[in-house]
Chain A
Amino acid sequence: MSRIETTFKALNRPALISFITAGDPDYAQSLSAMKALAAGGADIIELGMPFTDPMADGPAIQLASERALKAGASMKTTLQMVRDFRADNHDTPIVLMGYYNPVLQYGLEAFAKDASEAGADGLIIVDIPPEEADPLLDAIQPYELDLIRLITPTSDETRLPKLLNGASGFLYYVSITGVTGTAQADSQAVAAHINTIKQSTDLPVAIGFGIKTADDVQRFAAIGDAVVVGSALVQTVADNAGNDQMPEMLRGQVDALSKALA
């Protein structure tokens, strides 16, 4: 059983998925931040792979990519971070999130192999709809890597079967039509759509975009199997870059979010 599946099976409550960008604001601080997420009680870590043109992201995560790239982040250092994290954490699933071009340039087969060997468990590639996913699916097929599919408010019943075909790990429900860290969804509308989705799949459904506080976490956890907090954590990293206390602040923030799920 994959780490992602094991994690969802073992929990008797919704999961907390926390996001930071790899290498933000630099390698050492980012690795400490990653460990702090786990220490604070994150059930799954989503790790952003920096890209110059993050078209689906709002200002907070755009700037995180810029900081990381400026500090020398690359696909190699991102995978190294996964490896370093795995050296003393064997349980927390890691989902790599990013855009297709850096993966493509690394080489699809090489990426699948190296990401899997480093200890990553899943992939979210924002700009790969099912129509363009075959080469990537073929490349990850030999490895225990889940391709996490995004489902959005615009995914209607004709789209859903396409999205579910080849999906594994969990589904990521993008709760708004928009970019990360901006507006917040109406939870009733989200609940209705998730109910529809659940009729066609047994995969857990995580809800993300615009979820920032413990209150938000509580409200959206009631209607999904997991909630994703990203921009709010990235903001903490940004506001406290260079401060030794940053990982501790992050740990405290995640701890508070995690307690909202208990």
Chain B
Amino acid sequence: MQKNSYKNMPDENGHFGPYGGRYVAETLMPLILSVEAAWKEAKNDPAFWDEFNALAKDYIGRPSPMYLAQRLTDHLGGAKVYFKREELNHTGAHKINHCIGQILLAKRMGKTRIIAETGAGQHGVATATVCALFNIPCTVFMGATDIERQAPNVFRMRLLGAEVRSVTSGAGTLKDAMNEAMRDWVANVHDTYYLIGTVAGPHPFPEMVRQFQSVIGTESREQLLEREGKLPDLLVACIGGGSNALGMFHPFLDDADVEICGVEAGGHGVDTDKHAASLNGGRLGVLHGMSSYFLQDDDGQITEAHSVSAGLDYPGIGPEHAWLFDEKRVNYVSVTDDEALEAFQMCTKLEGIIPALESAHALAHVMKIAGDMPKDKVILLNMSGRGDKDIFTVAKKLGIDMGAM
């Protein structure tokens, strides 16, 4: 083990400093330990990675392109802005990376049923997709509120053969969907694998999802070295649970010259009670199997998150981000709903790329800072998903009646 590295976490109990761990009901502990054992074995098995890499290439379409956004760069008038094009992946986002990885692990463990939670529906669609591919029954838990605002993805999941179960408890959003998935898992420990959709949940999920997603950063390093002959000066990615960001960041953590920035969803503003910025507006707590930063009141009751982007609408964050925040290795900022909406439109018009509202948060931050950076600097932005799914939300926000067009 290297000393002074940011890449050696978590420890063997799944802790990232005070974060992470396994805060689950006893019923789940033996299963969590068996997932860990299976993961340890798989990650050291070249045959496992051969299978992952083959599917990454032929099914996901990897490597995803590295694209110089010239018009955006010219418009901002400063640093060069590159996009890592994860939105071109099969199913339109980075989520498919960890879904392929985890379904291979579930198969290896002999599990015959998959469950997942979803907010915007992107992780649900990606999970339903790999379950179709591997012919494994799949149940996706989704908040009743989200089902209403993400109807196209609900239909997509059902076409793919998944059962979408509506969750009416709480506010009917991602947090409640995750509670319900946990309840289902406790009741079906013998045959079910919980395919968690981000770098969160009990150990080993944060480490495992990071590992599958780090293909993003690993490819980026090579691609950018080839294009620019150097590493990027700044990485930018949006953060809900934090999977696309950690996938991009992790391979660069020990490169001291690379600045790293994570962008949280500021909703109406971090100083209001309507945002999803767990690091900048929350504090240490325990939920969903992990210790991390959460939005909560003084009594430790978890509060509702808000973001225009359903994929960032979660009151917690992956434990490794909490640790990187404390260590100050990554700078975490936030942008508001309005700033993200503006970036969404600008990117669409300037580059002909409709970004996911999630990725538009990262873009909004880049728009704030790129102009003040010298032209020889390089910003690498993770374009984590495409925005076709968001056009209804955006139309509504802009006051446009699509039925009347």
Contacts and interface: CB of A to CB of B under 8 A. Distances in A.
Chain B binding surface, main DSSP class:
mixed
Nearest to A150: B26
B182 interface: yes
A154 B169 contact: no
B286 A101 contact: yes
A141 B22 CA distance: 22
Contacts of B189: 154, 177
B296 A53 contact: no
Interface residues of A, number: 45
A151 B26 CA distance: 7
A62 B169 contact: yes
A51 B300 CA distance: 8
Interface stretch (A127-135, A195-203, A218-226, A252-260): A127-135
B286 A104 contact: yes
Interface of B: 13, 21-31, 169-170, 175, 179, 182-183, 186-190, 284-289, 294, 296, 298-302
A153 B25 contact: no
B302 A154 contact: no
A176 B189 CA distance: 11
Given A101-B287, A179-B183, A55 B25 contact: yes
Most B CB contacts (10 A, CB to CB) among A51, A102, A149 go to A102
Contacts of A152: 25-27
Contacts, number: 115
Interface of A: 50-56, 58-59, 62, 69, 74-76, 99-106, 126-129, 131-132, 149-156, 159, 163, 174, 176-179, 182-183
A212 to B, nearest CB: 18
Given A56-B183, A62-B169, A128 B23 contact: yes
Chain A binding surface, main DSSP class:
loop
Task: Name the 9 nearest CB pairs between A and B, nearest first.
Answer: A105-B300, A102-B300, A178-B187, A152-B27, A74-B299, A101-B300, A150-B26, A52-B301, A127-B23
B10 to A, nearest CB: 13
30 contacts: A50-B301, A53-B175, A55-B25, A55-B183, A56-B27, A56-B183, A59-B169, A62-B169, A69-B301, A74-B299, A75-B299, A99-B286, A100-B286, A101-B296, A101-B302, A102-B301, A103-B300, A104-B286, A105-B299, A126-B25, A127-B25, A128-B23, A131-B13, A131-B29, A152-B27, A174-B27, A177-B186, A177-B187, A177-B190, A178-B187
Contacts of A132: 21-23
Nearest to B29: A129
Nearest to B300: A105
Contacts of B170: 52-53
Given A101-B286, A105-B300, A129 B187 contact: no
Nearest to A98: B300
